[in-house]
């Protein structure tokens, strides 16, 4: 009788394990792009005075920042996502589950661009460094920084930066 219960228990566990691991994976990892983030205006002013206006989704909470632009199939050239880290710190990024190349633009507390990682490789797990302590990171379509001639030292205007 004891042996029969053990066999029954083992069979039940074997049948339940795939369902449990699938449920856990679905809870642990998003399966589609996040939506409903607040948006703000952001302007990049290049050293020659040109102004490039964007509408950016604001990723402020850790769970929003963890998902970022994952699962997006496209991003308009005047859109992006701004990750507000709250205070300057080193922030390594990655491209897990990100389907499109991105430029990652890092800024200090005054909104001065301090580092640009261009054309980050989709779905790569390689760490992309922030280039030092940063207040925020802007993600835009890959190649846009070069196209708009955005460089380190250019200035970003947004509500999170001190005047």
Domain ranges of the chain: 1-29, 39-157
CB proximity list for 158: less than 8 A, separation 6 or greater: 40, 41, 42, 43, 56, 82, 111, 136
Per residue in 40-98, pLDDT (tens digit) is: 999 999 999 999 999 999 999 999 999 999 999 999 999 999 999 999 999 999 999 99
Band of the pLDDT at 37, cuts 50, 70, 90? very high
The pLDDT score that the predictor gives to residue 128 is 97
Please say if the pLDDT value at position 16 is more than 80.
Answer: no
Q: What is the pTM of this model?
A: 0.81
Q: Could you tell me which residue, 42 or 32, shows the higher pLDDT?
A: 42
Are 117 and 128 in contact, with CB atoms under 8 Å apart? Answer: yes
Query: Among 85, 127, 120, which Cα is nearest to 104's?
Result: 120
The CATH code of the domain at 39-157 is 2.60.120.1140
Are 159 and 40 in contact, with CB atoms under 8 Å apart? Answer: yes
Per residue in 89-141, pLDDT (tens digit) is: 999 999 999 999 999 999 999 999 999 999 999 999 999 999 999 999 999 99
């Amino acid at each position: 009788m004891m042996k029969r219960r053990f066999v029954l228990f083992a069979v039940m566990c074997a049948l339940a394990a795939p369902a449990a691991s699938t449920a856990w994976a679905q809870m642990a990892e998003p399966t589609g792009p996040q939506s409903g983030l607040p948006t703000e205006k952001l302007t990049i002013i290049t050293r020659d005075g040109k102004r490039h206006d964007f509408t950016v989704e604001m990723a402020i909470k850790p769970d929003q920042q963890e998902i970022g632009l994952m699962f997006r199939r496209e991003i308009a050239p005047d859109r992006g996502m701004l990750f507000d880290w709250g205070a300057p710190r080193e922030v390594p990024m990655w491209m897990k589950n990100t389907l499109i190349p991105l430029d990652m633009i890092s800024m200090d507390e005054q909104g001065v661009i301090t580092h640009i990682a261009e054309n980050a490789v989709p779905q790569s797990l390689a760490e992309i460094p922030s280039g030092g302590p940063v207040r925020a990171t802007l993600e835009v379509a890959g190649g846009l920084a070069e196209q708009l001639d955005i460089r380190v030292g250019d200035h970003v205007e947004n509500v999170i930066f001190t005047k």
